[in-house]
Structure 1
Amino acid sequence: MTSASEGVLVLAGTPIGDPGDAPPRLAEELAAADVVAAEDTRRLRRLTQTLGVEPTGRVVSYFEGNEAARTGELADALAGGARVLLVTDAGMPSVSDPGYRLVAAAVERGIRVTAVPGPSAVLTALAVSGLPVDRFCFEGFLPRKPGERLARLREAAAERRTLVYFEAPHRIAATLEAMAEAFGAERPAAVCRELTKTYEEVRRGPLEELARWAADGVRGEITVVVAGAPAPGPQDLGPAELVERVAVREAAGERRKEAIAAVAAEAGLPKREVFDAVVAAKHQTA
């Protein structure tokens, strides 16, 4: 092992499907690590055979069932100067996978944390979805219970950014139905299945249509991308209501200029139209 001051945690991305997508540095890190913490040691063995590399360090399991207990052990190894490599079954560690606890523990101890960037189902699905990607948020897996799932979706119904979810194949039909109920049947979405694998499929369309398609059963690893809520259209507000909204904001302490701009944005109207309504009302009361 290296000196205590050189302990480092390396988060390494692994292929989400095609083994050829493994980053070149992954093999180097697997060979150099003092400890390799893997979500599934059997999958790690298959990956190392494909890459033609043999880890020289200790290989331990690090998955949801033992993550809490093993984090302290790995953090101690890092504090002792070990180079610890963390890999999951697919994609980047800590993104809906084990890793967050160990990263937090390493940061708390002042240990260096770095990464070997690699494949990501989130970014891959966004890129091929055909939906806006300039702003997005990742929601991970939804709750398994129908009521909790629908409640979570309703919380995100007004979100303007593109939404990304992971889902299990046996729940995807029910999830798409819940999305159609919470977001609206016509909300555009894309179901990305088996990304980068032999049977890769990207199904695009309104949520209601995708729910009907999934009702017959869907297999494989699934990422769902949903368009954000549409921008509100112009509201049909009369001059009197515009003036009233400006007055409310002014009473709350806003300057008239800012109040007019805010009301115009809320109503989807030009600021000049709201300004003219305020001026006209002032003349009427003069």
Structure 2
Amino acid sequence: MNTHTHTDTDRCAVITGAGSPRGIGLATAARLAADGFAIAILDIDGDAASAAAEQISAEYSVPTLAATADVTSEESVDQAFAAVEGSHLPPVTALVNNAGITAPTRFADITLDEWRRIFAVNVEGTFLATRRALPGMRERGHGRVVNLSSVSAQRGGGVFGGSHYSAAKGAVLGLTRALAREAAPDGVVVNAVTPGFIGTDITAGKLTDERRAQLIEEIPVGRGGDVADVAGLIAYLCGPEVGYVTGATFDVNGGSHIH
């Protein structure tokens, strides 16, 4: 665990899977830091988390913390949140469940182990982190939970991930809606974001030029998305204006899926 302290703030956002330099998580951390949040970055790669926290601290002068966390492990998630709660950071007011993995495996080739791994990170990871953050939010009567799903859950794949990824991200949407009903009376709102084709390390080097061009051709706005396109929306959903918005799904896909 590494911590960095600069200016005072009374809001803290925990972002899982935010260590990747080209990821939605780090872009979200930067955007929330710009809005005055203290930032806790959790990632299975502890060195990457530390580097990200140092970067955010230097650029935005907000308190930060980095913790190694495997979101598929209850013990690891508990330890990471204990580190956040025992640090100089203010109470957790926002949780962004960004950690996720995908694979382009065809259904007939998916092994049970791979199926379980996709669900463990995307679904159980969201469950474990939220379960850990929620009691404090409820006690304080205020909280924001943002779950990262995917356009693949809405259109049945067709971008990069296989059927197991679509199924897992669909489960995230169901969890978001059900939890929104439970948590709303306690001042906690829960929403989901469904990115489309976004330029991150998840697909970097894994798509042929032909396939990339085909994907972009199917997007009405004529380009792939950038992590900043998603981070801005997540930051809004972590802010004070969304107290009457819960259980909702927000699309960031350039019009590739309109419903």
Give the TM-score, by structure 1 length.
0.34
Question: Which structure: larger Rg?
Answer: 1
Between the two structures, name the one with larger relative contact order (CA 8 Å, sep ≥ 6). Answer: 2
Give the TM-score, by structure 2 length.
0.36
